[in-house]
Amino acid sequence: MIETAVLVIFPALMAYAAASDLLTMTIPNRVSIVLLAGFCVLALLGGLTWQSVLLHGAAGLSVLAVTFTMFAFGWIGGGDAKLAAAIALWLGFDILPDYFVLAALGGGVLTAAVLVLRRWPLPGFAKGWTWISRIHDRDSGVPYGIALAGAALAVYPDSQIWSAALAV
């Protein structure tokens, strides 16, 4: 049962966060809350040591401090800040550098694609689509949650919680 939860909860929440950010340009708070609660339950049932749980917590809090500062300066959205911190909680310090490199690369490609999209007029059939109109709007941001979630899914199999839960 723990194995199934580890294989389903995190990936499903990443897919939901990415889809939500794409379609609404928001990442609901409940995603970060469920990630926090899910980690706590699975870390304890999955066999992580207290030291590992505390280190994962420190990773999440460290990323929250940095991303909250970025949010305060208007560089990222609040949902992105909370999602990145919740992801860091699940990944821990060990693979956080890999995650950040992939998120930055994916975010760069995503941002470039959005900027190119915004240079062209929307085709007539797409003008009625609220989500694409929102992304096409030059005054709106970039749905960076897509890059955060994609990078998280790429490195998740290397995480300690994945290994601990599948070893039980």
| Percent of the chain topping pLDDT 90 | 74
Domain encompassing residue 86: 2-167
Whether 160 and 93 have beta carbons less than 8 Å apart is answered as: no
Looking at per-residue pLDDT, the higher value among 70 and 127 belongs to 70
Mean pLDDT, the chain, integer: 93
In angstroms, the CA 42 to CA 48 distance is 9
- Predicted local distance difference test score (pLDDT) of residue 127: 82
- Predicted local distance difference test score (pLDDT) of residue 82: 97
| Percent of the chain topping pLDDT 70 | 98
> SS3 breakdown of the chain: % helix, strand, coil, rounded to 5?
80, 0, 20
DSSP 3-32: HHHHHHHHHHHHHHHHHHHHHHS---HHHH
Q: How many domains does the chain have?
A: 1
- The label of the residue with tokens 């469920």 reads 34
